[in-house]
Structure 1
Amino acid sequence: MNYSPEQPLKVAVMSFAHTHAMGYVRLLQGSQGVTVLTSDPGPHPVGELRGRAMAERLGVDYVDTFEELLAWRPDAVVITSENARHRELVELAAAAGADILCEKPLATTLEDGIAIRKAVEGADVMLMMAFPVRFASTFQKLKAAHLNGALGQIVSVRGSNNGQLPSMRSWFSDPALSGGGALVDHVVHIADLLEGLMGANPLSVTAVVNQKLHSERARAETAGLVTISYDNGVIAGIDCSWSLPDTAPTWGGVKLSVAGTAGTVDIDFFGPSARGLEAATGAPIELPYGPNFDGALLRAFLKGVRGGVQPQPDVNVGLRTLRIVLAAQKSALTGATVSISDV
């Protein structure tokens, strides 16, 4: 859309369903030249802080309906709803002429993913996927090293994304709203890093899952192992789980090991932390430090909106990572290796 640099950038946040919504709101509130308006219509699950009460907690302006939110004519929209609602909200935002930052995954079905791409292309608006880890400085250094030939030819990659069960929001483990469990929540982050690093196309996926962890609470898989074959010959393995206990000092982390013919690199993206013990209870404390990946993601998005230049990762990256997840789900269900072309 046409943006006047003399006016503050108007950014709307649609839904507080995703736990990242609160962080995005705080970052947007601290961004120069940005005004923020939010909406999170109910009904909301009992016991979860949502809607106007959450807006008051955050100290951000709020309206009761998405219609009111889009009547404000925002320049950009951040969609942080339940995964299954992404299509509905993208179509509303695109019809309003707003550029979009969409939480991952793009959708829960291929049909909805393709409809999302059609909506943003038809409205001539931009959509960026919320994959913050690719904005880590360590990932940018890894990519530069690879482009400079320091790793030689990449042979294999091991990735892990292990965290706590997102109990703050019950929909994460409800397949009707999330599209699945740990596969949906965690595989896409590693898949995006591999796309950003190699630019290769996935060919096939093999996956196994179980629901032994948190079986009394979760309604979807809580752990999985996924193997992806790429057209450049690389085999990637992804360990995805909600395996950390509720008492863990932090939510989890993302790690990547890249093996090449000239060397191997191991990266713990959330590793830099100050660690200790709480004096009163002896409970472990872990306080991360360093650049905020979400902040870098939002800056890239806002820069793209202001300049009218599509920021990466775009809707096509969202579709490709969605296909990997859908192939993994099909493989876990059938016990067979699934070709991406069959998704």
Structure 2
Amino acid sequence: MTTAPGPIAMSPTTAPLTVGILSFAHTHASSYARILAATPGVEVLGTDPGPYDPGTVRGAAFAAEHGVTYVEDVATLLARAPDAVVICAENTAHRALTEQASAAGAHVLCEKPLATSDADAAAMLAAADAAGVILMTAYPVRFASVFTDLVARVRAGQLGDIYSILGTNNGKMPLAQRSWFTDPARSGGGALLDHVVHVADLIDALLGEGAEEVHAVTNRILRADAGVDVETGGVVSIRYPSGVIATIDCSWSHPESAPNWGGLTLEVHGTAGSVRIDPFAAHVAGYDADGEVWAGFGADLDARMVGEFLDAVRTGRTPQPDGAVGARTLAIVTAAQRSVEAGLPVRL
């Protein structure tokens, strides 16, 4: 079985790196901080000006908890000339932070979605290109061994000609903490923007072609009592130039009582066979005295992704998934948003 690359091991002769984390707003900031702080030869700086959701550990307290050197603001952090930054801010802040980091000569790993508009995504790509720095999009599921194996089987023709793909990305609605996900002014959208992009990235890597037409429907039935002002459930249908039809279920459908955050699956159907993958299936589940237990095991996909980024920074190569992938997958979401508004399919 083909496996995805693991975390990058540093040799004693490798020059040290300084990596900044710009904002701790995203839930993945904790994982990235832990991985970077544990990587030999990497100095980790962080800044997180807020605003903070009530009851959330952010700012200097978060940095201290994760072994990160805290810096008061973005300008001060960038003045320390970091080699790279990881952007974990609210979605609508991604463009400005990428432009600032690029201008400072720092390579960028940006949390998904890359941006909230196609114009912002294009500006981010242009800024990185003009500065000669890397722009990578944070899609950790790309590094799952089951997905790498699926790609190898498709490339080898084991499934024949692909004709349909079904993806799901369902999870909890982020309300208790990180409630900015449900604030359109900061998130740019709801379940469409949050969950479609991960599956769209896998399809992008699998097919190697851009989408041609998108049709989407959404609703706000889930947790309507909470007054959420974004879509909480949706289904997106995508047609590709080769004739492949893909469908993505992108709902925030897992209850707060669920023992895990959610899950992602991908089914690929071809003329010679079908394969279904579940990258987060490796877990132990049950009950103990405190209630339900759900403990995942296996490779740390965030660590593999961060390893890819750090290796690209050191070697100067272009990592995958890069900013162009982020822009293509965002274009599917923005087309889906237009489709919902029009009630019709939208061509890209």
Query: What band does the TM-score fall into relative to the shorter chain?
Result: over 0.9
SS of the residue 1:285 aligns to: strand
How far is the alpha carbon of 1:44 from its aligned partner?
A: 2.3
When normalised by structure 1's length, the TM-score is: 0.96
| Separation in 2, partners of 1:162, 1:207 | 16
| Separation in 2, partners of 1:45, 1:143 | 40
| Separation in 2, partners of 1:230, 1:275 | 38
Partner of 2:206: 197
How far is the alpha carbon of 1:42 from its aligned partner?
A: 2.9
Q: Deviations over 1:121-163 (max 9, x none)?
A: 1111110000000100000000001111111100100000000
The within-5 A match list for 1:121-270 is 121-167=129-175, 168-217=177-226, 218-270=228-280
Alignment match of 1:326 (pick from 313, 330, 334): 334
| Separation in 2, partners of 1:251, 1:42 | 24
| Separation in 2, partners of 1:210, 1:59 | 41
Structure 2 gap segments, 5+ residues each: 1-12
Greater Cα shift, 301-310 or 5-14: 5-14
Alignment match of 1:107 (pick from 115, 121, 124): 115
SS of the residue 1:159 aligns to: strand
Aligned residues: 335
The within-5 A match list for 1:6-45 is 6-45=14-53
SS of the residue 2:338 aligns to: helix
How far is the alpha carbon of 1:31 from its aligned partner?
A: 1.1
How far is the alpha carbon of 1:6 from its aligned partner?
A: 4.7
Greater Cα shift, 36-45 or 248-257: 36-45
| Separation in 2, partners of 1:228, 1:43 | 36
Report the CA distance shift for 1:6/1:157 in structure 2 as closer, same or farther (over 3 A). closer
- The percent of aligned pairs where both chains have the same amino acid is 51
Question: Partner letter of residue 252 of structure 1?
Answer: G
SS of the residue 2:44 aligns to: strand
How far is the alpha carbon of 1:13 from its aligned partner?
A: 0.4
| Separation in 2, partners of 1:185, 1:216 | 21
How far is the alpha carbon of 1:18 from its aligned partner?
A: 0.3
Partner of 2:309: 301
| Separation in 2, partners of 1:32, 1:150 | 41
The within-5 A match list for 1:70-109 is 70-109=78-117
Computed over aligned residues only, the root mean square deviation of the Cα atoms, in angstroms, reads: 1.2
SS of the residue 1:101 aligns to: strand
SS of the residue 2:52 aligns to: coil
SS of the residue 2:256 aligns to: coil
Partner of 2:7: none
| Separation in 2, partners of 1:6, 1:106 | 30
CA contact (8 A) 2:167 2:249 kept: yes
| Separation in 2, partners of 1:58, 1:215 | 35
Question: Partner letter of residue 21 of structure 1?
Answer: A
Q: Deviations over 1:219-263 (max 9, x none)?
A: 210000000000111000000011000000000000000000110
| Separation in 2, partners of 1:21, 1:219 | 25
How far is the alpha carbon of 1:45 from its aligned partner?
A: 3.0
Question: Partner letter of residue 169 of structure 1?
Answer: R
SS of the residue 1:331 aligns to: helix
| Separation in 2, partners of 1:306, 1:241 | 38
Partner of 2:320: 312
| Separation in 2, partners of 1:43, 1:314 | 29
